[in-house]
Amino acid sequence: MPDITLVEAVNLALARAMAEDDRVIVFGEDVAVDGGVFRATDGLLARFGPDRVLDTPLSEGLFAGLAVGVAAQGFRPVAEFQFMGFMLPALDQVMNHAGRLRNRTRGRLTCPLVLRAPYGGGIHAPEHHSESFESLFAHVPGIRVVVPSSPARAYGLLLSAIRDPDPVVFLEPKRLYRARRQEVPDDGAGAPLDRCFVLRPGTDLTLVTWGAMVAETLDAAQALDREGVAAEVIDVATLKPLDTDTILASVAKTGRCVIVHEAALTAGFGAEVAARLADDGLFDLRAPVRRVAGWDTVMPYPRQERRYMPGTDRILAAARGLMEYA
């Protein structure tokens, strides 16, 4: 069983889903002949043919609408956007149709589609290629938002997303595409949606994060451990619907929480996590909730990109500040 990268795990999950269910079709920008801009769909055209792997025009609204239509007719489409920044033209279809179809038809129709997109910074890409506005999609009723943080998580979560009867926005941190390898068995086992994963247990501090920021957060937890602080690390994984119970249980134990995300601070998804802690975990908190996030500006390209994204030093500063509270 070879070790594979996150982008290879996505490819493996797509191939497994297509082999098991002939209703699964893949289409999007350059996904067929070229195998996708990051090669996530490489080899699928040769294996499954042009009826199930299709290149579309560079019209995101068009193929998002196509995904809604064929999903309503019983297919399970997986549509790939080249970058998250290119998803904005598809918002009409996502918000007005994909998210509403079950409610609009009183359950007579569902919309089992997956909209995949590479997202986030870290590869020195130009404008419109490094966005992290996951909170925008999380705000849309009827839409699931899933963000994997490792090859194994990408494989299992993508399979579960494809099998889910409702629409899923599946955001793949491009900085992690080839950052590490992991042993991933191609056994067809899906990972549970709608739950957080505790990556590291702790008793003194809770670190909540997702996507590419999991790596820096785990590094910070290791550094804190050397200082005698036991930090619990939670990978949110499914942002919408949010598994609040796991986060509240952790904070009830630790009394302190730092939320880490790459997206800009204002109205980022970390604010939703903080609000739920204020609603239901206030009396467990021994210190204010802190957010470590990107700055409220466009991702600076290319030399200042690393300064935009939160690093281990900023996470540690926030964590150490919370530990000063009695």
Q: Any idea which residues carry the catalytic annotation?
A: 129
Which H helix or E strand runs over 19? helix 6-20
Going by their DSSP bridges, the two strands 76-80 and 114-119 should be labelled as parallel
Asked if 184 and 155 count as a contact pair (C-beta separation under 8 A), the reply is yes
Picking from 175, 231, 178, the residue whose alpha carbon sits closest to that of residue 207 is 231
- Whether the bond between 57 and the residue before it is cis, its omega within 30 degrees of 0, is no
Q: Tokens 């619990």 correspond to what residue?
A: 232
Q: List CB contacts of 282: < 8 A, sequence separation 6 or more.
A: none
Going by their DSSP bridges, the two strands 168-173 and 144-146 should be labelled as parallel
Burial zone of 108 (CB within 10 Å; 0-12 exposed, 13-18 middle, 19+ buried)? exposed
Which H helix or E strand runs over 264? strand 257-264
Picking from 120, 110, 115, the residue whose alpha carbon sits closest to that of residue 74 is 110
- Indicate if the alpha-carbon torsion angle 218, 221, 225, 231 is positive or negative: negative
> Per the structure block, which two tokens stand in for 205?
């501090």
- Whether the bond between 288 and the residue before it is cis, its omega within 30 degrees of 0, is no
Picking from 234, 137, 190, the residue whose alpha carbon sits closest to that of residue 9 is 190
Cα radius of gyration (the chain): 20
The 10 Å CB-count burial string (b at 16+, else e) for 241-274 is ebbbebbbbbbeebbbbbbbbbbbeeebbbbbbb
